[in-house]
């Protein structure tokens, strides 16, 4: 596959930003009425119920995965989306391909997070569609949250002023999703424009469990420097003041000298697809880091993204040789960037 150039990444980032601005600008926080019937204790709606143990059909190639498992515990993991009403048709297409190429063989539950902007009518329409899928699909309403020290009426937005919905989405994937998924061992993130185009013939959650992986990614690329202003200085300072794995992971090969940082394109996971071990991202050292990011307010004032933050977070706290997995045994499309990644 041809590797995108830096100029392409910048253009793609701008296109991606513009598209997502359209999609998420209506996302807000606060209280609202329940859109559809939910369990009051869990704020969860489910369309079906399945047994928690399911027979696998196949195992990975021997050179890829060195074990063969006969059963998958479907209670330990879930596939997650953050959905928006304007993306209904894409969600349906994504779920259809997800079922065809993964869930039909390994029917893990799917959780569709949504906020108060999603109308009752649209939710009921989407629920009728998910009822046709022979897997458990749950709808969970969320209320987005600002950091306790951020006041949208007072704090100045330097980058992307007025696009609070997108920034709340960033904080959701960087921070909040782990608390919401704390009853599971792993989650797989899919965006509404994420499409899996080939069969995943083994259970990646079992690979994560058996191999001791904490994080799985599809691709590493670069973010646009204007939306990462000050991030590398923050990471550099944090690494020097805390006990981290920065030296083990050769962090400074990804952070240039201070005088060269202005025009440097920060690294990021292309994390519209990712798998994460939830309890590790809720551990004390990583939560302390997330709280320090919150204190900077820069997700909201400067549009720091969850993708580069996740990359540098992993460089600080995860042993890349043991905990990080490049999971690329499938054809993956991210439509907003008009990119399709072939099997590795």
The DSSP annotation for 95-136 comes to: HHHHIIIIITTS---EEEEE-TTS-HHHHHHHHHHHTTSSS-
> Global pTM?
0.81
Between 330 and 65, residue with greater pLDDT: 330
**Using CA atoms, how far apart are residues 131 and 68, in angstroms rounded to an integer?**
32
Quote the tokens at residue 150. Answer: 């951020």
Residues 179-205 pLDDT 10s:
999 999 999 999 999 999 999 999 999
* Residue 262, pLDDT score: 83
pLDDT above 70 as % of the chain: 79
Phi, psi of 203 (to 5 degrees): -90, 105
Confidence of residue 165 (pLDDT cuts 50, 70, 90): very high
User: 33-42, 132-141, 188-197, 241-250: which range is least confident on average?
Assistant: 33-42
Domain ranges of the chain: 6-222+269-292+321-341
Is 41's pLDDT higher than 80? no
Average pLDDT score over residue span 309-338 = 96
Q: How far is CA 39 from CA 34, 48, 108, 135, in A?
A: 10, 14, 20, 19
Confidence of residue 7 (pLDDT cuts 50, 70, 90): very low
Q: Number of C-alpha atoms within 13 angstroms, CB side, residue 339?
A: 20
Query: Do residues 28 and 165 make contact, with C-beta atoms less than 8 angstroms apart?
Result: yes
Is 68's pLDDT higher than 60? no
* Residue 192, pLDDT score: 97
* Residue 337, pLDDT score: 86
Average pLDDT score over residue span 10-30 = 42
Is 50's pLDDT higher than 80? no
In degrees, rounded to 5, the angle at the alpha carbon of residue 115 between the alpha carbons of residues 166 and 219 is 50
Mean pLDDT of the chain: 84
139, β-bridge pairs: 45, 112
* Residue 71, pLDDT score: 63
CATH architecture entry for 6-222+269-292+321-341: Alpha-Beta Complex (3.90)
Is 62's pLDDT higher than 50? no
pLDDT above 90 as % of the chain: 74
Confidence of residue 277 (pLDDT cuts 50, 70, 90): very high
Average pLDDT score over residue span 291-310 = 97
Sequence-ordered list of residues with C-beta below 8 angstroms from that of 88, at least 6 positions apart, any chain: 122, 125, 126
Is 322's pLDDT higher than 80? yes
Among 35, 76, 90, 99, CA closest to 278: 76
Is 22's pLDDT higher than 70? no
Between 83 and 47, residue with greater pLDDT: 83
Query: Do residues 252 and 235 make contact, with C-beta atoms less than 8 angstroms apart?
Result: no
Is 30's pLDDT higher than 70? no
Average pLDDT score over residue span 50-77 = 44
Quote the tokens at residue 217. Answer: 């990614």
């Amino acid at each position: 596959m041809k590797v995108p150039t830096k100029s392409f990444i910048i253009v793609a980032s701008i296109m991606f930003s513009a598209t997502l601005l359209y999609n998420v600008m209506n996302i807000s926080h606060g209280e609202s009425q329940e859109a559809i019937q939910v369990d009051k204790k869990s704020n969860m709606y489910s369309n079906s119920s399945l047994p928690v143990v399911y027979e696998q059909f196949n195992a990975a190639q021997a050179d890829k995965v060195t074990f063969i498992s006969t059963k998958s515990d479907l209670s330990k993991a879930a596939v997650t989306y953050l959905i928006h009403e304007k993306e209904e048709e894409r969600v349906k297409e994504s779920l259809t391909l997800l079922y065809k190429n993964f869930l039909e063989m390994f029917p893990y539950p799917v959780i569709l997070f949504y906020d108060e902007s999603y109308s009752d009518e649209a939710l009921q329409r989407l629920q009728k569609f998910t009822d046709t899928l022979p897997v458990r699909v749950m709808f969970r309403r969320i209320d987005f949250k600002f950091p306790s020290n951020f006041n949208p009426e007072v704090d100045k937005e330097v980058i992307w002023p007025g696009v609070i919905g997108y920034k709340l989405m960033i904080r959701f994937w960087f921070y909040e999703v782990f608390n919401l998924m704390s009853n599971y061992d792993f989650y797989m993130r899919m965006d509404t424009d994420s499409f899996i185009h080939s069969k995943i013939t083994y259970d990646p959650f079992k690979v994560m469990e058996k191999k001791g992986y904490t994080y799985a990614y599809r691709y590493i690329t670069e973010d646009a420097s204007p939306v990462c202003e000050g991030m590398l200085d923050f990471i550099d300072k944090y690494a020097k003041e805390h006990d981290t794995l920065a030296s083990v992971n050769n962090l400074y090969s990804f952070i240039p000298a201070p005088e060269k940082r202005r025009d440097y394109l920060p690294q990021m996971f292309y994390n519209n697809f990712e798998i994460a071990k939830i309890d590790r991202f809720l551990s004390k050292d990583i939560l302390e880091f997330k709280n320090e990011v919150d204190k900077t307010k820069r997700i909201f004032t400067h549009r720091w993204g969850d993708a580069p933050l996740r990359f540098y977070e992993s460089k600080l706290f995860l042993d890349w040789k043991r905990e990080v997995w490049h999971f690329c045994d499938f054809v993956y499309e991210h439509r907003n960037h008009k990119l399709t990644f072939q099997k590795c």
